[in-house]
Amino acid sequence: MLVPETSITHPIEERIAWAEHCCARLKDTLLGDPEVSSLLEGLRVAIRDSRSRMAGLGIGDLCKACEEDEGGSCCGAGLEEHYSGTLLLINLLLGVKIPTRKGDPESCFFLSATGCQLLARHVICVNYLCPKIEARIPAGEIACLRQMEGVELDLLFVLHERVKRILCSLP
């Protein structure tokens, strides 16, 4: 019998363990579902497009400079608490290697020296742009980026619901 999803109130390590357990047991079943596999592929492309747009706008460079010069990252400790087991499972299905230990105690569990280790991110993470970035990037460019991120988030929402429905239907 499938272990029920650990609640969002459980420690992040337990949610990661739950996602790893489900992936090991049910990866073939989930990837064998035509809707899941098509949504995963669409999501992969949407994430690639929105990340590439962000890089093209220089957002990654601005974040790096801010972190190096001002010693701060927006990915602070506790933000990982927004991540459900199902969202972590989707990351595993996308081939992400999820860390099992936190790096910097002051930062989000999923932040590494090279940035966020997740591909499918929570709406809070996708939508956040600091005031400095909003002031430096033209509004039209931000609107275009928001549109691409909207595609990513819509696909992720439908996929999240589909995966949950499959998990609930299993004996």
Give the footprint of ligand SF4 on this chain (CB under 6 A).
75, 79-80, 108, 110-111, 116, 118, 121, 125
Q: Using the minimum distance from each CB to ligand SF4, give the nearer residue, 26 or 92.
A: 92
**What's the min distance (Å) between Cβ of 48 and ligand SF4?**
16
User: Taking Cα atoms as reference points, which of 59, 58, 2, 54 lies closest to residue 29?
Assistant: 2
**What's the min distance (Å) between Cβ of 14 and ligand SF4?**
17
User: Taking Cα atoms as reference points, which of 34, 53, 62, 63 lies closest to residue 166?
Assistant: 34
Taking the CB of residue 138, how many other CB atoms lie within 10 A of it? 9
**What's the min distance (Å) between Cβ of 112 and ligand SF4?**
8
Q: Using the minimum distance from each CB to ligand SF4, give the nearer residue, 21 or 82.
A: 82
Q: Using the minimum distance from each CB to ligand SF4, give the nearer residue, 125 or 167.
A: 125
Q: Using the minimum distance from each CB to ligand SF4, give the nearer residue, 40 or 98.
A: 98
CA distance 92 to 23: 7
- SS3 label, residue 149: helix
* Distant-in-sequence, close-in-space partners of 108: CB < 8 Å, separation ≥ 6: 75, 76, 77, 78, 79, 80, 116
Pairing type for strands 111-112 and 115-116 reads: antiparallel
**What's the min distance (Å) between Cβ of 55 and ligand SF4?**
15
**What's the min distance (Å) between Cβ of 79 and ligand SF4?**
4
Q: Using the minimum distance from each CB to ligand SF4, give the nearer residue, 74 or 137.
A: 74
Residue whose structure tokens are 């993470």: 125
- The torsion defined by the Cα of 40, 41, 47 and 48, in degrees rounded to 10, comes to 150
